[in-house]
Amino acid sequence: MRLLLISNSTNAGEAYLQHPKEQIGTFLKGVKKVLFIPYAAVTFSFDEYEKKVQSKFSELGIEVESIHHSKFPKKSVQEAEAIVVGGGNTFRLLKMIHQFDLIEAVRYKVLSGTPYVGWSAGANVACPTICTTNDMPITEPDNFGAFNLVRFQINPHYIDSHPEGHAGETREERILEFLEMDPYVYVVGLREGTMILLENVKLSLIGSKPARIFKKGLPAKEVNSGEDLDFLFE
């Protein structure tokens, strides 16, 4: 199984998909066309999303074909060279994945070795559930179950800050609430500009910032690029 799970598409002050561009190109080396799943888009069209992603993937020599054009989405998944899932609203994304009955089709395809790239919401749906998304539930999926390609949960765009004068929960406190309900799973707080690579049965953190790892009953810890992440398979 080959996964590239990216916290965010755009770093502040940078062009769209600029920070993960080199890693995506390396990961998808030899791939001529990817199947793009744009369902997380809400305030702009799927056509616009496809065009936006194509503009960056063209720099890598890769064609982008969005699944929303397909009359037979499952067949498109089965025939894909690689699958790319964009960010946006995770609830909208999962609702449409359920609507087109794509959970098992994508899961089987990726478990069979087809490369999977997802950023933000696209990283969330690689997890067992979407319960560690940051998004507002603007629509209701059939359930919270996602592709279940990894055993841990990801919280993309993870931040440590607590703005002055803000009396609400921090991101860490929200994750600790989740762990009260699901105490047996790890949660990876994936900071912006970083990503997780799964290749050759090895998990790696890529980027200049550490990831923050949470599990019920254990102190939260920071893991840096190059350090062992294999415990997340437990």
The rounded distance, in Å, linking the Cα atoms of 124 and 38 is: 14
CATH number reported for the structural domain that contains residue 125 in this entry = 3.40.50.880
Is 68 among the catalytic positions? no
Give the pLDDT band (50/70/90) at residue 123: very high
What is the tens place of the pLDDT at every residue in 52-88? 999 999 999 999 999 999 999 999 999 999 999 999 9
pTM, rounded to two decimals: 0.96
Catalytic: which of 7, 9, 66, 120?
120
Catalytic: which of 98, 157, 162, 182?
157
Mean pLDDT of the chain: 96
What is the tens place of the pLDDT at every residue in 3-12? 999 999 999 9
Is 70 among the catalytic positions? no
- What's the number of domains the chain is made of? 1
Q: Residue 41 belongs to what domain range? A: 3-233
pLDDT at position 94: 98
Is 135 among the catalytic positions? yes
Catalytic: which of 9, 68, 76, 135?
135
